[in-house]
Structure 1
Amino acid sequence: MANGWRWWALAAVVGITDAATKDWVRLNLFQGEVVPLTGFFNLVYFQNAGAAFSFLAGAGGWQKYLFIIIALVVAAVLTWALSIARPRTEAVAFSLILGGAIGNAVDRTQHSHVTDFLDFYWQNWHWPAFNVADIAICVGALILVCWTVFSAGGELRSKITAKQ
């Protein structure tokens, strides 16, 4: 359990960084404002009432509660999972996802939407805007997928080698 604190601390750093960056955007940009920084990246201020890719954004408001409940359930499961000794890679991934889920849930609870502000694009094609919490969730999920694939591959190689 003592080692679990560092993973919760990582989740807290993600959540605090997410909140601080969203606060900065709300204080310094107008909704819909675009600040070009490079030929492929803008800062924007977008209020996303939906989930990833604005999924259910126009659903009328009920989705806010659905997304908050999902985030809280995910947070509860990951908090429980982090209280059990587990491999470092898995704990880092869980912590990133936990921090991101809490960050977006807090934003949605306080503002009825999630503040997105990172806009990558190529010519006229824009990837949907996102935020620090989204990055943490995606990186955590990618770590879990890679860790699962490569650790499962190692176990499979061991079994094949043992049978020969």
Structure 2
Amino acid sequence: MPSRSSAAPGLTQWLLVAALIIVADQLTKILVIGAFQLGDVRPITGFFNLVRAHNYGAAFSFLHGASGWQRWFFLGLGLAAAAFITWMLRRHGHQKLFAWALTLILGGALGNVIDRAIHGYVVDFIQVHAGGWYFPAFNVADSAITIGAVMLIVDELRRVRRG
């Protein structure tokens, strides 16, 4: 196992960052729930709206119309992913880009798990559109997961190049 320098973040630091992502996600969702009714749309720019949408499914509303079992499936999947990511952070927290990616995914996953546990759905509120085309609404947690996934790809590409 590689030695850790005193400057290398440990598991606690990564979990604190994930907690900050969760707090930012939940605070923005609380603001949206307080200011918007389901289906409300508030244009901000010519390509960006604030909305209130409820996603009972997963990414891009996958399984949105299922009979309700998907709530528990995605809640369990999110908790299992969080446990696995925490284990990975414990082992690889010294690999900065990899750990940042995992931390973003962890915070995002748990932010959405909290929604599923409390509401039975995920609150989405960011809507991007252009030329009559609308990207599915998303939230801070989804953004963190997406950025983390891109960082994982970049980390792997860098690893392959070095090898």
* Alignment TM-score, normalising by the size of structure 1: 0.92
Q: In structure 2, how many angstroms separate the alpha carbons of the residues matched to 1:133 and 1:75?
A: 13
Aligned equivalent of 1:51: 58
Counterpart selection for 1:11 from 18, 22, 25: 18
Q: In structure 2, how many angstroms separate the alpha carbons of the residues matched to 1:47 and 1:3?
A: 36
Code of the residue aligned with 2:10 in structure 1: it is N
Counterpart selection for 2:107 from 92, 96, 99: 99
Q: Percent identity?
A: 43
Aligned equivalent of 2:82: 75
Aligned equivalent of 2:152: 144
Q: Provide Cα deviations, 1:101-132, integer angstroms capped at 9, x if missing partner.
A: 10000011100000000000002100000000
Q: In structure 1, how many angstroms separate the alpha carbons of the residues matched to 2:26 and 2:150?
A: 23
**Superposed counterparts of 1:98-117, under 5 Å:** 98-117=106-125
Aligned equivalent of 1:28: 35
Give the greater-gyration-radius structure (CA).
1
Structure 1 unaligned blocks of 5 or more: 156-164
Q: CA RMSD in A?
A: 1.2
Structure 2 unaligned blocks of 5 or more: none
Aligned equivalent of 1:161: none
Q: In structure 2, how many angstroms separate the alpha carbons of the residues matched to 1:27 and 1:14?
A: 20
Code of the residue aligned with 1:64 in structure 2: it is R
SS at the partner of 1:45? strand
Residue 122 in structure 1 maps to residue 137 in structure 2: no
Code of the residue aligned with 2:123 in structure 1: it is T
Code of the residue aligned with 1:103 in structure 2: it is G
1:150 CA displacement: 1.8
Residue 66 in structure 1 maps to residue 73 in structure 2: yes
Q: In structure 1, how many angstroms separate the alpha carbons of the residues matched to 2:155 and 2:78?
A: 23
SS at the partner of 2:91? coil
Count of residue pairs brought into register by the alignment = 155
1:151 CA displacement: 1.8
